[in-house]
C-alpha cells in the first residue's frame, strides 16, 4: 500500500509544481464568487440596458432576484467548469505514455493497477475539491445576500452534478487506457458527453442519459423529484464501473 501512496504523492507533486492544481482551484473559486455576483448584478445590468432596450420598443420590468437566481448561475456554469477540468487533466496518462516516464516506474516492479488507481484516485480527489469549493463559496455568498432556505434539496442536487463529474473521470480513465494521445481521450469523452446531451432533446430517452443529471436544478424548486433521476443514476453507476473495470484490464496489458 505504501507504493500506491508513493505514486499518489508523485501525482500531488506534479499537480502542484506544474501549477495545474492552483489554476484549477482558482478557476473554481472564481466561478464560486461569480455565481452570486452575477445574480447580484442582474438588476443593475438590466437597468443599464433598459434605455437601449426601450428604444427598440421593449420595456423592462423589475426582475425578482433571490437565492435561486444565484443557483441558476451555478448550474449554468458547471458544464463549462467540467470542460475546463477535462482539458486540464486529459493528458494525465497520455503525457506519460508520450514521454516514456512510466517505463522506469513499471520496470521497478510497481504494479500497473496501482498507477491506474493512484491517478484515478487523484483525479477524483481533485474534482471533488474543486467542485465542493465552488459549491461552498456560492452557498455562503448566496446565503449572505438572500436566503438559501427557499431552495429545497440543495446538497442533493449538487451531489448529482458532482456524480456527473465522476462519470466523466471514469470515461477519462477508460479512454486513457485505450488511447495514446490526449486528443483521442478528449474526442472520446466529448463524443459520449455531447452525444448524450444531444440525445437528451428526445423526452422519451432523456431519463436514461447521464446528462439528465445536469438538470438537477429542477430539484431546488420541486419541479422534479429525486425519483426522476433514478434511472439516469443507475446508468451512470453501471457505465462508470464498467469503464473503470475495462480500462484497468486494458491498461494492464497496454504496450508502453
Locate 97 and state its grid cell. 505514455
- How many residues make contact with other proteins (CB under 8 A)? 28
Task: Identify which of residues 1 and 155 has a Cβ nearer to other proteins in the complex.
Answer: 1
23 binds other proteins (CB under 8 A): no
Residue 65: phi and psi, rounded to 5, are -115, 125
Report the Cα–Cα distance between both ends of the chain, in Å, rounded.
Answer: 24
Binds other proteins by CB under 8 A, chosen from 13, 87, 150, 198? 13
Of 28-36, 79-87, 107-115, 137-145, the segment contacting other proteins by CB under 8 A is: 107-115
Other CB atoms closer than 10 Å to residue 100's CB: what's the count? 9
107 binds other proteins (CB under 8 A): yes
| Closest of 217, 213, 105 to residue 153, by C-alpha | 217
99 binds other proteins (CB under 8 A): yes
**Cα(86)–Cα(181) distance, integer angstroms:** 14
Q: Which of residues 226-255 bind other proteins (CB under 8 A)?
A: 252-253, 255
Q: Which of residues 108-137 bind other proteins (CB under 8 A)?
A: 108-112
Binds other proteins by CB under 8 A, chosen from 48, 54, 101, 242? 101
79 within 8 A of 214, measured Cβ to Cβ: yes
Q: Using N-to-C axis directions, what is the helix angle for 154-178 and 91-99, rounded to 10°?
A: 20
Which residues contact other proteins by CB under 8 A? Answer: 2-3, 5-7, 9-10, 13-14, 17-18, 99-101, 103-112, 252-253, 255-256
Amino acid at each position: 500500500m505504501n507504493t500506491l501512496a508513493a505514486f499518489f504523492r508523485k501525482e500531488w507533486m506534479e499537480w502542484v509544481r506544474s501549477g495545474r492544481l492552483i489554476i484549477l482551484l482558482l478557476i473554481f473559486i472564481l466561478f464560486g464568487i461569480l455565481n452570486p455576483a452575477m445574480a447580484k448584478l442582474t438588476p443593475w445590468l438590466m437597468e443599464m440596458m433598459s434605455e437601449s432596450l426601450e428604444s427598440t420598443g421593449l420595456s423592462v420590468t423589475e426582475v425578482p432576484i433571490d437565492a435561486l437566481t444565484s443557483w441558476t448561475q451555478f448550474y449554468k456554469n458547471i458544464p463549462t467548469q467540467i470542460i475546463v477540468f477535462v482539458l486540464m487533466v486529459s493528458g494525465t496518462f497520455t503525457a506519460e505514455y508520450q514521454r516514456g516516464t512510466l517505463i522506469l516506474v513499471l520496470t521497478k516492479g510497481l504494479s500497473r493497477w496501482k498507477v491506474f488507481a493512484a491517478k484515478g484516485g487523484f483525479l477524483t480527489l481533485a474534482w471533488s475539491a474543486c467542485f465542493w469549493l465552488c459549491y461552498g463559496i456560492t452557498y455562503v455568498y448566496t446565503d449572505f445576500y438572500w436566503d438559501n432556505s427557499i431552495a429545497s434539496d440543495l446538497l442533493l442536487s449538487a451531489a448529482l452534478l458532482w456524480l456527473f463529474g465522476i462519470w466523466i473521470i471514469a470515461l477519462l480513465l477508460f479512454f486513457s487506457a485505450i488511447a495514446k494521445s490526449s486528443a483521442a481521450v478528449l474526442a472520446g469523452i466529448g463524443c459520449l458527453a455531447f452525444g448524450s446531451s444531444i440525445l437528451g432533446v428526445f423526452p422519451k430517452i432523456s431519463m436514461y442519459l447521464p446528462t439528465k443529471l445536469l438538470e438537477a436544478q429542477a430539484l431546488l424548486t420541486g419541479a422534479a423529484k429525486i425519483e426522476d433521476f433514478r434511472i439516469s443514476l443507475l446508468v451512470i453507476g453501471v457505465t462508470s464501473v464498467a469503464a473503470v473495470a475495462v480500462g484497468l484490464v486494458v491498461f494492464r496489458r497496454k504496450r508502453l
